[in-house]
Amino acid sequence: MIHKANIWIEKDGQVVLSFWRVRLLEAVQETGSISAAASKMNVSYRRAWDKIHECEERLGVKLIDTQTGGEGGGGSQLTPAALDYIRRFREFTTGLDAVIAQRFRESFFSD
């Protein structure tokens, strides 16, 4: 039997971080662009930008620095705050899959 769990962090009842949002931020870091990150995540640029903007508003910090113009065009990079939130989220969620799997077995197959 396959079992999955999703973890997200809320502030005032609104999602501020989740596995998907952290992966999106990591994709921006890897690709250097919100557009390329959106493509990698199979979502529209608008959806990616909206989710990043939501996180910024709800966390009260800037997560992405964007550059426009110039010879190389635009680009995006994560702020130190974004890198810190990613690190803390990954630290927080490390090992949760094993704990959830164990609790699942205990709850549903411990007869």
CB distance 39 to 49 below 8 Å: no
Q: Which two tokens stand for residue 78?
A: 């994560």
Tell which residue, 80, 91, 78, has the closest CA to residue 9. Answer: 91
The DSSP bridge partners found for residue 23 are none
The DSSP bridge partners found for residue 76 are 66
Domain ranges of the chain: 9-108
Measured in residues, the chain has a length of 111
DSSP class of residue 33 equals S
Q: What is the rounded CA–CA span in Å between residue 42 and residue 95?
A: 27
Residue of 106 and 63 predicted with greater confidence? 63
Whether this model's pTM surpasses 0.85: no
Q: Looking at residue 101, what is its pLDDT?
A: 84
Q: Which two tokens stand for residue 52?
A: 């990043």
The CATH number of the domain covering residues in 9-108: 1.10.10.10
Residue-wise pLDDT tens digits, 33-87: 999 999 999 999 999 999 999 999 999 999 999 876 555 556 899 999 999 999 9
